Amino acid sequence: MGFPAAISVLLVSVSIALLNGLLLKYEGGNILSAAYGVTSKCGTIALHISIGIAQGVMPLIGYNYGAKNHKRVHQVCRLSFFILLVFSVVFLTVVQLFPGPIVRLFIDHAETIEVGSVFMRCWSWCVVGMSLFNMYNSIFQAVGKWKTSLLLAVLRLGVIFSVLCLLLDHFFGVSGLMWVQAITDTVACLIAMAMIAALYQQRCSKVTT
């Protein structure tokens, strides 16, 4: 059951290495790499908070799902989604308003702060999709659909992220790479949302029959 989470952590490291390698090939690659390093550190904070909330409610969802207390499952999920949405919007707002001071906390270099501010503003749009995706993934694990959870984890960073890195790097260069994470998590969140809806409809059809 914990295998999808382990793969997700591994793929985070792989995705950072991939994007960092693509940035280093450009002129001023060291500055771009430093800017991305700061961005990924802030991203790790958001990632771990969202994972903590999503993983924290997983036993509660699993227990009530096993007890067929679906009303309680829905209540827990709604509350968790609400908390994650509020956190995401607050985090996104803070980053959009104060990217420079945030980057300066990590490195005091004028050019890196300038590039890092742009990078963080682009990247921060991933927080909403990333947080909701983590919750959807936890729901699949909690109800015993670990293969679906694993598929989503691999699809998000192993497929969508990697393909977007190569495509956006080819067509848009550095500007495209700055948007990779935001687009990846938005697409992955929409896919997970559709799969949850399909699971819900399947359960409802079984109940009615």
Residue ranges of domains in the chain: 3-208
Look at the chain and count its residues: 209
pLDDT at 100: 94
> How does pLDDT run along the chain (209 residues), one tens digit per residue?
667 777 777 888 889 899 999 999 998 899 999 999 999 888 888 988 998 999 899 999 999 998 999 899 999 999 999 999 999 999 999 999 999 999 999 888 999 999 999 999 999 999 999 999 999 999 999 998 988 988 998 999 999 999 999 999 999 999 999 999 999 999 999 999 999 998 888 776 665 55
pLDDT at 127: 95
Nearest to 138 by CA among 46, 44, 13, 1: 1
**Computed over its alpha carbons, how large is the radius of gyration of the chain?**
18
Write the DSSP assignment of 13-61 as a string of letters. Answer: HHHHHHHHHHHHTSTTHHHHHHHHHHHHHHHHHHHHHHHHHHHHTHHHH
pLDDT at 179: 97
CA distance 23 to 34: 10
Question: Cβ(88)–Cβ(124) under 8 Å?
Answer: no
CA distance 64 to 115: 47
CA distance 66 to 164: 38
Q: Quote the pTM value.
A: 0.91
pLDDT at 9: 76
Name the residue with tokens 């509660």: 60
pLDDT at 200: 82
Q: What share of residues in the chain are helix, strand, coil (percent, to 5)? A: 90, 0, 10
pLDDT at 2: 67
Please report, as a single letter, which amino acid is at residue 162.
S
pLDDT at 13: 85
pLDDT at 6: 75
Dihedral sign of CA atoms 103, 87, 137, 118 in order: negative
Q: Around 155, how many Cα atoms within 13 Å sit in the side-chain half-sphere? A: 17
